[in-house]
Amino acid sequence: MNTANPVTNTKPVKKGFELFEFLYKYGTIITIFVLIAIFAIANPSFIQGANIVNILRSISIVTIIAIGITISLSVDGFDLSVGSTVSLSNAVVVSMFVWFSQNIFIAILAAIGAALLVGAFNSFMIVKVKIPDMLMTLATMFIIQGIALTYTKGATVSQNMIMPDGSFSTGVIPPFFAKIGQVPWIIIIMVVVVALVHIFLNYTKHGRYMYVIGGNKEAARLSGIPVNKYKVLAYLLSATFAAIGGIVLASRVMTAEINSGAPYLMDAVAAAFIGLSVLGAGKPNAFGTFVGAVLIGILSNGLVMMSVPYYAMDIVKGTVLALALALTYYRQK
């Protein structure tokens, strides 16, 4: 009788170097360093301190908005309305100063309040009416865009603007508010937002619950996690960070332009999705989103310094996003 145990005769298989896994974990970071080298060779001023600060300043608003998208992604949602929410909060905060001569506290509170109404509307329609997240926030994007345009009557809100009755606005934007959008405060705000959300998602009970919901909603519900409450929280937080982005934008440009938040949507979405694979996270995370924003910022800045036409930049950004998504979803498959 053969009593040999086939299991005991099996030799352990050594796991060799897997290029795909390596690229999945470190591809984004390697790409950043490769781009820095290429742009620095093409134009040595690219790596000067002033330009590095300029890149960080340019990605600050995108990062803040993308952090909100990251939170919505953590519960398996997707908030496409953040761009319009940025426009609305931007218009509200500037109008509070210019039209109504309010102080900073009231102006910022009004802008965040308006954004929270958007988040509450999204939450109600998604959680109670059961409309899919992407479809609902897409509809909200157009609704809020129209509300913002109606509120401003399609005009740029700025100091000394001509009012509908032919008079000039008398309100002024406080000098202190103007400092929020300047270096170093705009960069500090970005870093604080990233750090706080990183801690919230990874080291608090609520953040872990959000990840559980994003991983398996039904399992989370059976475990006793109030899924609907956390989805509401995610969309309220997403709207809040969009409002912060709109407030910082207002401080930076000192006006409320028509649809000022729209150009930030694509970059914010790209940053959030690129961040899924950073260091092999495999899930929405604040640090990865920041790295994704850095990649987008370096691309934009470097291409400008190389005199690439502005209308070609979306091609590059879209290609980078497509590659990041392909890498992420191929691995999940």
CA-to-CA separations, 95 to 4, 99, 102, 183, 308, in angstroms, rounded: 83, 5, 9, 24, 36
Q: List, in order, residues 6 or more apart from 231 with CB less than 8 Å away.
A: 75, 77, 123, 126, 127, 213
Of 2.40.160, 1.10.3470, 1.10.443, 3.30.70, which CATH number belongs to 25-332? 1.10.3470
How does 296-316 read in b/e, with b if 16+ C-beta sit within 10 Å?
Answer: bbbbbbbbeeeeeeeeeeeee
The C-alpha angle with vertex 291 and arms to 267 and 211, in degrees rounded to 5, equals 90
Angle between helices 49-74 and 82-98 (to 10 degrees): 120
Query: What is the Cα–Cα distance from 108 to 49, expressed in whole angstroms?
Result: 32
Model confidence, pTM: 0.92
Residue appearing with tokens 């301190």: 49
pLDDT values of the chain reduced to their tens digit, one per residue, 333 residues: 455 555 555 555 445 458 778 888 888 898 899 899 999 999 999 999 999 999 999 999 999 999 999 999 999 999 999 999 999 999 999 999 999 999 999 999 999 999 999 999 999 999 999 999 999 999 999 999 999 999 999 999 999 999 888 899 999 999 999 999 999 999 999 999 999 999 999 999 999 999 999 999 999 999 999 999 999 999 999 999 999 999 999 999 999 999 999 999 999 999 999 998 888 788 999 999 999 999 999 999 999 999 888 878 888 878 887 877 777 777 766
CA-to-CA separations, 99 to 95, 109, 133, 168, 172, in angstroms, rounded: 5, 16, 35, 10, 9
Query: What is the Cα–Cα distance from 269 to 67, expressed in whole angstroms?
Result: 10
Closest alpha carbon to 55 in 78, 79, 39, 71 = 39
Query: What is the Cα–Cα distance from 92 to 98, expressed in whole angstroms?
Result: 10
Residue appearing with tokens 């890149």: 55
Q: Sketch the domain layout of the chain as residue ranges.
A: 25-332
CA 287 vs. chain centroid, Å, equals 12
